């Protein structure tokens, strides 16, 4: 009985594929699948290019992927208990660093502490020295259609949020 059910399925499948509408739809379905695959791989390629720029000591190239004002705004939202933030739980080291900065700089702590140089130092110190495609233990996921989160675990943890912009994927939040 199971064999006859499989045969009927394949007969119906061939009949469905022979229809004229399906033949015209096949290239569109293949193109759609290819575009979805490329869109899914695009942030990984951007992270790899970012890693290569950091390893080759090219801060001017890294600057094209970093949005410092967005990083400051994300940290400001995280510090505000009433606002919703994409940043999860912060490490004790990060909280101590922010606390010391707020005590020293006061209200302008984020503007004084979160600069491109700080972001570049974090990337330089936390990305491994190997030049492989994915040399570190990494978890990543799409949070939305335009938002991508990358968690790097070696040599020290670092979390990056990338957002699709008109110029490509940019770092809009960074914490450890």
Instruction: Please write the tens of the pLDDT for every residue from 92-105.
Output: 677 777 778 777 77
| 135 belongs to a structural domain | yes
pLDDT of residue 132: 56
78 is a domain residue: yes
Domain range enclosing 94: 40-175
> Is 163 within a domain?
yes
Pairing outcome for strands 158-165 and 138-142: unpaired
Q: How many domains does the chain have?
A: 1
Residue 33 in domain: no
Q: Rounded to whole angstroms, how far apart are CA atoms 7 and 22?
A: 21
Please indicate, yes or no, if residue 6 is contained in any of the structural domains. Answer: no
Let me know if residue 24 belongs to a domain. no
Predicted structure pTM score: 0.70
pLDDT tens track for 117-138 = 888 888 887 776 665 555 555 7
pLDDT in tens, 137-152: 578 888 888 899 888 7
HSE at residue 68, side-chain half, CA atoms within 13 A, is 14
The answer to whether residue 127 is domain-embedded is yes
Classify residue 32: in a domain, yes or no: no
- Judged against a pLDDT cut of 60, whether residue 18 lies above it is answered with yes
DSSP per-residue string spanning 100-145: HHHHHHGGGHHHHH--HHHHHHHHHHHS-S--SSS-S-EEEEESSS
């Amino acid at each position: 009985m199971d064999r006859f059910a499989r045969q009927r399925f394949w007969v119906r499948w061939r009949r469905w594929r022979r229809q004229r509408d399906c033949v015209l739809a096949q290239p569109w379905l293949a193109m759609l699948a290819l575009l979805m695959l490329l869109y899914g791989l695009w942030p990984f390629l951007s992270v790899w290019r970012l890693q290569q720029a950091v390893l080759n000591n090219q801060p001017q190239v890294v600057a094209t992927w970093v949005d410092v004002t967005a990083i400051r705004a994300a940290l400001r939202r995280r510090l505000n208990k009433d606002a919703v933030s994409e940043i999860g739980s912060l490490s004790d080291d990060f909280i101590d660093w922010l606390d010391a900065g707020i005590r020293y700089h006061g209200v302008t702590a984020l503007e004084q502490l979160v600069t491109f140089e700080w972001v570049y130092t974090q990337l330089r110190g936390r990305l491994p020295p190997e030049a492989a495609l994915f040399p570190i233990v990494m978890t990543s996921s799409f949070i939305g259609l335009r938002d991508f989160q990358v968690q790097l675990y070696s040599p020290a943890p670092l979390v990056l949020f990338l957002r699709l912009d008109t110029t490509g994927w940019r770092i809009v939040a960074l914490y450890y």
